Structure 1
Amino acid sequence: MAEYMKEQEKPLALATETDQIGIEESNPSPVEHTSRPNWNCIICCGCCAAIFLILGMIVLILMFTVFRIKEPILKMNSMKVQGLNLLRNTSLPPIVNLTVKADISVENPNYASFKFSNATTSVYYDTYVIGEFVSPAGRVEAKKSVRTSVTIDILVDKVLEVPRFRSDFGAGILPVSTFIGIRGKVKVTDVFKKRIFVQMNCTMNWNLSSEAIQNRNCKTRVKF
C-alpha cells in the first residue's frame, strides 16, 4: 500500500513541474518586456536634442553673419571749388557763380542691398546755408559700393550776407562746412530689417588764392 502511494505521487509531482515550466515560458519576465521601449525613448530624445542643438547653432551663426546688419559707410573722396579766385581779385565780390564739385561714395558691408531715398547735401558758411543739392534715390547691392558726383551751385548773395565775410575775405580763408544725410533701409528678411540714417559732417577751409581746400575733417554718424 505504501509503494502504491509513492507511485501515485510521482506523476503528480512531474505534472506540476511541467505545468510550472509551461506557465513560465508562456509568461516571460515583465522586466525583459519593458526594457526595450525605455531604450527607444532615450534614443529618440537624444536625437531630438541633437537636432535642436544643431539648429540653434546654425541660427546663432546666421545672426552674427548674414542676419547681422552693419553700418553703411559714407565717404567724401574729394572736393573742389571753382570761382574763388574771382572773389580774391576784386575789391568787392562780384556776382559770379561758385561751383562745388564733390565725389561721394556709399559702401554697403551687408549681405543684403541698401536702399536709400533722396539725399540732401548742404554747404554752410558759418550757420548760413549757401548751397544745396538733392541727389536721387538709389540702391547699393550687397558687399558693394556706389560713387556719385555732386555739383553744388553756391549762392553768392547768401555768402555776402554772412557778417564775418569781410574779415574772412581779407584773410583769404573762408571756413566752410558740409552736411550730407542719407535715409535708407537694409532688409535681409521680413524679420531682420532696419531703417538707417547715415550722416556726414565735414569742416574745411577754402583758400581764396589757390582755390584749394585745406584742413578737411569729416565725421560720420549712423542712427538706427
Structure 2
Amino acid sequence: MGKWKICCLLSAILVLIFVLVSVTLYFTLFKPKHPRIILQSLTLESIRLVFPDLKGNVTLGLTVTVDNPNYGGFKYDNGTAYVNYRGNLVAEAPIGTDSISPRSKHNISTSVIIFADKLAVDNNFWSDLLIGAFNFTSSTSLHGKVKVFNIFKLKASSSSDCNISVFLHNQTTDSVCTYNIKL
C-alpha cells in the first residue's frame, strides 16, 4: 500500500512540474507575439500630369515587410493600404490574403496610383505643387490569426500609420511610421 502512495505522489509531482514548465514556456518563450508591418521602401515610379485640366497620376512603389516573430505561423486576410492627402482619400492599394511562416519575414510589393484630379480638389494643392512637395498619410491594417504549434490559435491585427513626403524636384520620398498591434 505504501508503494502505491509513493508512486502516485511522484506521478502527481511529475505532472505538476510538466504543467508548470509548459505554462512557463507558453507565457515566456512561446508567447504569441505581435506581427509587425514595416515600410521598407517608398519610391516615386512615375509622374504624369497634363495641364491645364490637371489630369494624370502619380505612381508610388510601395514595399512593406510583415515580420512574424512567433514560433507559429501568421495567416492574414485581405487588407487595403489607404493614402490620404490633407484628409481626403486619394488612393487605395489592395493587399491579398497570404500566410507567413514561423519566425520569418514576408515582403509585399504594390503600386499605389494617386490620381491628380483627386489631389486638385484641395485648396492647398497648387501651393504644394509650386513648392514641389506633397505630404500624404497612409494607413495599412492586416487582420488574421497566429497559430502556435497548431494548437493555440489567437486573433491578431497589426496596423501602421505613416506620414509620407514626396519631393517632386529631386523625385524622392521620406516617411515616418508608427505601428499599433493588437492580439
Q: TM-score, normalised by structure 2?
A: 0.88
Local SS of the residue matching 2:165: strand
How far apart in 2 are the matches of 1:48 and 1:206? 67
How does 1:126-145 map onto structure 2 within 5 Å?
Answer: 126-145=86-105
2:142 to 182, 203, 224: 182
How far apart in 2 are the matches of 1:162 and 1:82? 23
Residue of structure 1 in register with 2:176 after alignment: 217
How far apart in 2 are the matches of 1:143 and 1:160? 44
Local SS of the residue matching 1:97: strand
How far apart in 1 are the matches of 2:164 and 2:35? 24
1:107 to 63, 67, 70: 67
How far apart in 1 are the matches of 2:89 and 2:45? 18
Residue of structure 2 in register with 1:164 after alignment: 124
- Structure 1 residue 191: Cα displacement: 6.0
Quote the sequence identity (%).
26
- Cα RMSD (Å): 2.3
Segments of 4+ moved more than 6 angstroms = none
Structure holding more helix per residue:
1
Local SS of the residue matching 1:76: strand
Question: Structure 1 stretches of 5 or more lacking a match?
Answer: 1-36
2:36 to 73, 91, 97: 73
CA contact (8 A) 1:119 1:134 kept: yes
Residue of structure 2 in register with 1:44 after alignment: 7
Question: Structure 2 stretches of 5 or more lacking a match?
Answer: none
- Structure 1 residue 58: Cα displacement: 2.7
How far apart in 1 are the matches of 2:104 and 2:149? 19
Distance 1:154 1:91, change over 3 A: closer
Q: Which has the higher contact order (CA 8 A, sep 6+)?
A: 2
- Structure 1 residue 99: Cα displacement: 0.5
* Cα-to-partner distance string for 1:51-88 (whole Å, 9 max, x where unaligned): 1332223322331356411001211100012344x65x
Structure holding more strand per residue:
2
Number of equivalent positions: 183
CA contact (8 A) 1:109 1:143 kept: yes
Residue of structure 2 in register with 1:29 after alignment: none
Local SS of the residue matching 2:61: strand
